[in-house]
Amino acid sequence: MEIRYLGTGAAEGIPAVFCQCETCRKAAKQKGKDIRTRASTLVNGKLLLDISPDLYFHKLCYDLDLWKLKAVCVTHSHSDHFDSQELTRRSSANYCHIHSERPLTVYGNSKVCRMGRESFKEEFGKEEDPSVVFLLAQPFSEIRMEELTVIPIPANHDPREMCFIYLIEEGETLILYANDTGLLGSEVYDFLKGKRLSLVSLDCTFGFNKYHGGTHMGIEENLAVVKHLEEAGCLTPSTVITATHFSHNCNMSHQELEQRLGEAGIRAAWDGMMLKWK
Share of the chain above pLDDT 90, in %: 94
Is residue 60 a contact partner of residue 140, using CB atoms and an 8 Å limit? Answer: no
- Kindly report the length of the chain: 278
Helix (H) or strand (E) holding 107: strand 104-108
pTM, entire model: 0.96
User: If pLDDT is split at 50, 70 and 90, which confidence band does 99 have?
Assistant: low
**Longest Cα–Cα distance in the chain:** 54
Which residue, among 39, 128, 17, 121, has the nearest Cα to 83 in the 3D structure? 39
Q: What are the pLDDT digits (tens) for 6-17?
A: 999 999 999 999
Domains of the chain, first to last: 2-7+22-269 (3.60.15.10)
pLDDT of residue 100: 66
> Please, are residues 27 and 34 in contact by the beta-carbon 8 Å criterion?
yes
DSSP H helices in 94-137: 110-124
**What band does 119 get if pLDDT is binned at 50, 70 and 90?**
very high
Q: Compute CA distances 275 → 44, 45, 136, 195, 254, whole Å.
A: 10, 12, 29, 20, 18
Tell me the per-residue pLDDT of 236-257, one tens digit each, with 9 for 90 and over. 999 999 999 999 999 999 999 9
Convert the pLDDT of each residue in 169-184 to its tens digit: 999 999 999 999 999 9
